[in-house]
Structure formats: C-alpha cells, structure tokens
Amino acid sequence: MIRILYNFISLGIQMYWWFSGLFGNQKSRSAIKGRRNWEKKLADLNLNPNPIWVHASSHGEGLMVIPLINQILTETDENILLTFFSPSGFKHFKHESKRVKKLYLPLDYHSNAKKFIPLLNPKMVVFVKYDLWMNFISEIINAGIPSFCFSIKIPIDHWYLKWYGKCVIKSLKKMKCLLTLDEKSLKNLNTVGLSNVKRCGDTRYDQVSLHHNPVLKNVKKPCVLLGSSWDQEEANLASVISNFPDIQFIVAPHEVSNQRLSKIKNQFGENCALLSSCNSGELPHILVVDRIGLLSELYSDSDVAFIGGGYTGKLHNIIEPAAKKNMILFGPKIDHFPEAIEMEKAGFAKRITDQKELKETLASFVTEPDKLKKMKDKSSEFVKKKRGATQIIFEELKPYFK
C-alpha cells in the first residue's frame, strides 16, 4: 500500500511540472525538457563500462560531492556519472574532468528504474545527503550493486522513522553504508534497527579553501559583508548603517538583476555604489557587488559575514566565510542547519533577530576590536577541525573500486 502511494507521489511530481510548465514556469520546463529522451541522452554520453554513479538532488548537493569526486579522480581511474533531480543542479554544476559526465535522473517510476540500471550498469551507486529514490534503490539492490549515502541527515521526526516509512528502512538496511552528517542522525537510524550506519560529517568543510587572499584595495576595517543577502538582511542593515560611518560595508545580494540592484541602491542612498563603477581608488561606504561568482573571494576581505536566508529558514553557505576567518551573523531560523548551531556554540556566530540586536552587535565590533579578532581566529580553527569527511567516505567505497 505504501509503495503504491509512493508511486502516486512520483506521478504527482510529473503532473506538477507539466502544469506549471504550461503556465510559464521556466524551471519546470527545463526539468521536462531535460528528462525527455533520457535513454538517448544516456547513450550519447558514451560512458565507459561500469562507471560510478553519484546522485545529487540540486546544486548544493552537487557542491558537497566535489571533494569526493576529486579524490576518486586522483586516486583511481574510475569514470563518474553524476545525476541531478533539479534543473538548478544540472545547469550550474561544472567539472573540468572529461571523466565526469552529468545527466538528469529519470523520474522514479518502476519502469524507468528497470531500464536505467541495466543500461548504466554502474559499479557502485552513491547518493548525496537525502535524495533517495525507492524504485531505483530497489533495482540497485536486486542487481547486487553496492550502494551508499553520505552526509545523510535524519531528524527524529523524519517520515522514514514513522510506521509508514518501514518499507524505506527495509531497503536502507540492504545498502552497504549510510554515512551521517551528525551524531543525532546516526542514533536516530540506530533506533529503527539500522546497523550499517557510520558518521562522516560534512564534506563542505573539505571543499572550502583556507587560503586567505584579499582581492579589494583600500578596504577599511572592520569590514562587514552581506553574503547572498535577501530583503530582510538588507532592510535590517539599511536601518542602522548610518550609525557606523567607520565600518566598511559590502552587499553581495543573492540575485543581481537590474530590479534588485536598483532597489538596493535606493535603499542605501548616496553613499552606495556598484562594484562595476568603482575605480581603483577609495571604496564607497557601501559597496554593492553586481556580479556573481565573486563572493567566495570577497570573504577574504571581510571580518564579519552577515549571511542571507536566516529569516526564511533557507540559510546560505556559512562554512565558506568561516574558512576565511569571518565572524558569522544570520537570522534566527537555523534549526535545520547544524553547522550554524555548532558555530554559535563555538562562540564566533550569532543570531540577529531584529534591527536593535544588529545595531548593538555592529557597535561591539568597533568598540571591542580585540574580541572580534579572537572570534575570527576561532572560525578558521573550527573549520580546520571539521575537515576529513571525504576521506571517511572514500575509505568505505575503496573496496569496491577496480
């Protein structure tokens, strides 16, 4: 009964994409087009026999798998097929190696799974985080193909742990190893009888560079950077920024459309200027980054990173700025982001609930520079200690390589 309901959900996803695509949703249209004629697209990739198949949901999970892909390419001669569920993942993921190919994963119908697995005939299958598709997993297990999942996060209220998740747990027991993001997930999976579980941690700590390389000239200190910011972060900062003429501010919005940039310029006033219009001289009080792809480099110039998404429960990457010795700020909705909670406990990250709290926090950076320096040092040391997840995963896969 649960399996029938699951298949209806897969059909519902397809119907949603079709209808939203008809009404102009570009993401849905990309998903439909990307999966069309998937058998021919798979054949056209000209994959070597028995590749390693890695599946990621979206772009974020694609970034998480990069350290593992790089280690596989370095230490073996294996080839890799990376599949994506989301158009954003497929579109934005790029890798220089010709041994890495990418494809949209066909929808999780039983008929698709029965065709896909024999056509690909993978040596092993690796799922990233939580994008587990039960019809595909059943066929993988039936074919005797070793399967793994890493950086999996399962809270105590996850549906896998409910009575109606028993069919999923039955399949997970037959996978070679489930490598969890945290200790809580490991214990939660143990409670439902899973013994093939091991903690690996977060591969994103292995991905970020600890190299500190400032790229802007004449940056005043302290420097506060709004990274991947949305409306709430920008509104809070705009309300208090006039109180801090001696702080350098950089705003790097999540979207850089003309409409968003125009709104930001109006919001911050005459002391605001776009990066593209600045010469090599003194920077404006508020520098707005109007190009994508620069954020990871700019963290080397900042002392404090106020990261977007914390007011909507969709916090953006905070590991990258921590690796570049930034004190971290974010909105209060971080319950689903264990790295944010850990950084807060470590003493170099802070939740900002409102404008008053932001004003007090920024004031402390000016009046207590030594305290800010200590927090910056804590951040990079924290990231160093968290590295190593990729090696743990690689050791689990190692026996199944050529």
Instruction: Establish if 391 belongs to a structural domain.
Output: no
pLDDT tier at 7, thresholds 50, 70, 90: low
Instruction: Establish if 23 belongs to a structural domain.
Output: yes
Same domain, 108 and 240: no
Same domain, 197 and 261: no
Q: Which residue has the tokens 């143990």?
A: 190
Same domain, 370 and 270: yes
Same domain, 245 and 118: no
pLDDT given at position 2: 55
Contact at 8 Å (CB) between 262 and 377? no
- Whether residue 23 is predicted with pLDDT greater than 80 in this model: the reply is no
Same domain, 269 and 372: yes
Q: Give the domain CATH number at 132.
A: 3.40.50.11720
* Number of domains forming the structure of the chain: 2
Instruction: Establish if 218 belongs to a structural domain.
Output: no
pLDDT digits (tens, 9 = 90+) for 326-335: 999 999 999 9
Same domain, 28 and 152: yes
pLDDT digits (tens, 9 = 90+) for 334-359: 998 989 999 999 999 999 999 999 99
User: Is the model's pTM score more than 0.85?
Assistant: yes
Same domain, 133 and 238: no
Contact at 8 Å (CB) between 72 and 394? yes
Same domain, 321 and 365: yes
- Whether residue 306 is predicted with pLDDT greater than 70 in this model: the reply is yes
Instruction: Establish if 358 belongs to a structural domain.
Output: yes
Instruction: Establish if 389 belongs to a structural domain.
Output: no
Same domain, 164 and 308: no
pLDDT given at position 270: 86
- DSSP letters for 131-185: ---HHHHHHHHHTT--EEEEEE---TT-GGGSGGGHHHHHHHTTSSEEEESSHHH
- The range of the structural domain enclosing residue 128 comes to 2-201
Instruction: Establish if 275 belongs to a structural domain.
Output: yes
Instruction: Establish if 156 belongs to a structural domain.
Output: yes
Same domain, 130 and 248: no
User: What does the DSSP 8-state code read for residue 51?
Assistant: P
Answer with the one of 201, 232, 261 that is the final residue of a domain.
201
Mean pLDDT of the chain: 91
Same domain, 124 and 250: no
Instruction: Establish if 401 belongs to a structural domain.
Output: no
pLDDT given at position 246: 93
Q: Give the domain CATH number at 254.
A: 3.40.50.2000
Mean pLDDT on 154-167: 87
User: What does the DSSP 8-state code read for residue 317?
Assistant: -
pLDDT tier at 200, thresholds 50, 70, 90: very high
Same domain, 175 and 317: no
